[in-house]
Structure 1
């Protein structure tokens, strides 16, 4: 039975969480698979340190190989067993702004509600597929909590990354984001796989099936996810990173080609950046063989549509792929709705909002399609009918109530 849960009011005041509904709650017009699953959800914050990495932002001719440790903060959502009296509620703290040291748009903490129990005990006896989530530039690991909590309730372990030098709190040179997204994704996959081994001492021991993994990425996170599964960057992209260091992610580089990870079974790419800047050539995009769901707006003015996401969709010719398009949508097809804290500055509000679409509506539609796609790819669930749709949305779209699929387009292309 589907239920709409009333908003929980948390104390309002300076530094306090705003009174608001939980992001991702099921609206009356939400498509069928947007509803939360049967599992209770826990959440924990972990840290993983990737040692001896190239510090590209300190690169120079005099210092061509500077090294440092990349400290990755991870938010982990998982099926949980709540103790007596424990509730699925937490308060997340994120920041406004677009990087440090900007007096016009300073980093300011804000809080919002989450429907997950902080540090709850995990369930036992079941191993769950792994979903790794990568934010935009700048963004944060909490940027898509409406989706991460929803997936955990449906039997996934979801790990969202704060990519160093790419969050709203620590935004720095773009070269770091271009170079490190793939490396961070693979490091987190390997780290979680190690934590999942029996006897590891981590709470994820015995809980995760890391051999059955999906990547979910938004904007630069989408770029990184595609780069991770075989979309090697082209020679023209090398100019974006000094010293030719982007070659480690380049199509045709034997080291790059050898790093393809068969544990990754699916990709969800929200508004992936890159094609409109000629980051890939046709040969690079043809390297993707992983089933991929693209989600974007046809008015995307950051990643581009006709010369951007649509080009990627058409040119990953060796992959089974789907494209959901929000007609009139711009770039913000992935994040949570803007918090009331965003209302005080237009740029902060615009970084989360959509000018035409209601963000809560987008969130429910995303939950629906991502649930179907990952259910098929990671759990072999018989959900294909939810993806076998006519190109123009109508009353024949499975899972949508009458008159409620307006403004959407759907494409599917099988591998050649």
Structure 2
């Protein structure tokens, strides 16, 4: 895109046309100047690689006439990791389904560079799961940011059906496969990490975190141990029957060595069917951070995500609520290619909150949460523990007059949320419940 600067022909008849390029769109992983403190990029350059895992002999409810077809499950992966050297960055190319059922291609600028050698050391392993019909690239805002802070982030591409989730037939695919795929990808990544294979040699399998948005949030909660509703057996043509509460393989979904779980806008129910057993959330033992908008009419708030937060009992859990936000809080901001249609733009943008603001705040809290519970960094506790529940009530009385950009110190000096700038901690709630 170019901006054409036309000098006045009356002032200078001999002037020539000057063409000035517009600055390129910045990578979404780089936070804005008004983002809270821990949203800032970390010390590591970021590398990116594309691989594929194959799980043989898997039931696919979207294939087969009389019973689900048994096929090899191919799962492409995008891996963001701390790199040992710098690079020029990249441009991701991906697509999401448009209103007419045709995929709309678009690009996303990235900080990561393909082919970089990993940094020296062993870094916690993060499995990052996208939502229905999304792709790993739309989660680059979080994957790249976490990699810069010393996490190896493995993001599967689940290849959901292009038909809309509003049909029962389409829903059977992601409902059945999301937990199974996440459990498999996590276990295989951990196996390769322990064996020192390839890029996975940089990952520490004993320190694993699960993060998911929307349908991916459902998947990571199940992979963290939450019990599935037995009704999902019928809803998935029997694919999940062995894995629901009381099933013979129910424990096989639980990922080993999970130190923390982040569920962004996870569903409680889908098309009237409850996804979780009556005490399903009570089976989770890993610290959990729920993130949701209070006006999320896709998965619900209360009942909805708040209900899941309340039902989890035996692990520390947190609930970050963006008041008045909807469901579209987990993807990058709408790229230029997706801004000409309401349907396309609605994938990405919230009706109230700026997307760059949402991403910065989420990254801040996710960083604090993972650093505390996965890296055992006690200094991060002050960013998530003891906060006044309503962000509007925080006070920092010693703030200089004017547009001061410093970060609240929290603690005894300020009740304004630690790491937030004055006038920038508004419209949110942050709640905590300890393990019982």
Length-normalised TM-score, structure 2? 0.84
Equivalents in 2 of 1:93, 1:18: separation in Å? 19
Q: Deviations over 1:16-46 (max 9, x none)?
A: x993122132222110000000011101111
CA positional deviation for 1:53: 0.4
Q: 1:198 to 1:167 in 2, by over 3 A?
A: farther
CA positional deviation for 1:106: 1.8
The answer on 1:49 being equivalent to 2:51 is: no
The total of aligned residue pairs comes to 389
Q: 1:275 to 1:66 in 2, by over 3 A?
A: closer
User: Secondary structure, in 3 states, of the residue corresponding to 2:97?
Assistant: coil
Q: Deviations over 1:389-410 (max 9, x none)?
A: 1110034211101111100001
Match of 1:13 in 2: none
CA positional deviation for 1:332: 1.3
Of the structure 1 ranges 133-142 and 22-31, higher mean CA displacement relative to structure 2 is found in 22-31
Match of 1:180 in 2: 177
The answer on 1:82 being equivalent to 2:85 is: yes
Q: 1:112 to 1:262 in 2, by over 3 A?
A: closer
Match of 2:434 in 1: 414
CA positional deviation for 1:259: 4.4
Match of 1:3 in 2: none
CA positional deviation for 1:167: 7.0
- Picking from 367, 372, 393, the partner of 2:363 is 367
Equivalents in 1 of 2:90, 2:163: separation in Å? 21
Q: 1:112 to 1:320 in 2, by over 3 A?
A: same
Q: 1:284 to 1:40 in 2, by over 3 A?
A: same
The answer on 1:251 being equivalent to 2:245 is: yes
Contact 2:234 2:241 in 1 (8 A): no
Match of 2:37 in 1: 32
Contact 1:44 1:118 in 2 (8 A): yes
Match of 1:399 in 2: 419
User: Secondary structure, in 3 states, of the residue corresponding to 1:356?
Assistant: coil
Contact 2:318 2:433 in 1 (8 A): yes
Report matched runs for 1:152-167 at 5 Å. Answer: 152-165=147-160
The answer on 1:69 being equivalent to 2:66 is: no
Larger radius of gyration: 2
The answer on 1:380 being equivalent to 2:383 is: no
Q: 1:222 to 1:281 in 2, by over 3 A?
A: same
Q: 1:195 to 1:18 in 2, by over 3 A?
A: farther
Equivalents in 2 of 1:175, 1:20: separation in Å? 37
Q: 1:167 to 1:20 in 2, by over 3 A?
A: farther
Contact 2:108 2:137 in 1 (8 A): no
Q: 1:361 to 1:324 in 2, by over 3 A?
A: same
Length-normalised TM-score, structure 1? 0.88
Contact 2:93 2:106 in 1 (8 A): yes
Task: Give ranges in structure 1 of 5+ residues lacking alignment.
Answer: 1-8, 11-16
Match of 1:151 in 2: 146
What is the alpha-carbon root mean square deviation over aligned residues?
2.3
Equivalents in 1 of 2:390, 2:269: separation in Å? 25
CA positional deviation for 1:304: 0.4
User: Secondary structure, in 3 states, of the residue corresponding to 1:221?
Assistant: helix
Equivalents in 2 of 1:400, 1:18: separation in Å? 28
User: Secondary structure, in 3 states, of the residue corresponding to 2:83?
Assistant: strand
- Picking from 190, 193, 196, the partner of 1:193 is 190
Equivalents in 1 of 2:234, 2:200: separation in Å? 40
Task: Give ranges in structure 2 of 5+ residues lacking alignment.
Answer: 3-21, 396-415
CA positional deviation for 1:50: 1.2
Match of 2:409 in 1: none
Q: 1:261 to 1:108 in 2, by over 3 A?
A: closer
CA positional deviation for 1:58: 2.0
Q: Deviations over 1:301-341 (max 9, x none)?
A: 10100011010000011221000000000001211111111
Contact 2:111 2:144 in 1 (8 A): yes
Q: Deviations over 1:153-193 (max 9, x none)?
A: 00000011101335799998211111111111121112212
User: Secondary structure, in 3 states, of the residue corresponding to 1:149?
Assistant: helix
CA positional deviation for 1:235: 2.7
Equivalents in 2 of 1:155, 1:168: separation in Å? 37
User: Secondary structure, in 3 states, of the residue corresponding to 2:141?
Assistant: helix
Equivalents in 1 of 2:23, 2:249: separation in Å? 48
Match of 2:342 in 1: 346
Contact 2:60 2:239 in 1 (8 A): no
Q: 1:197 to 1:328 in 2, by over 3 A?
A: same
Contact 1:129 1:213 in 2 (8 A): yes
The answer on 1:141 being equivalent to 2:136 is: yes
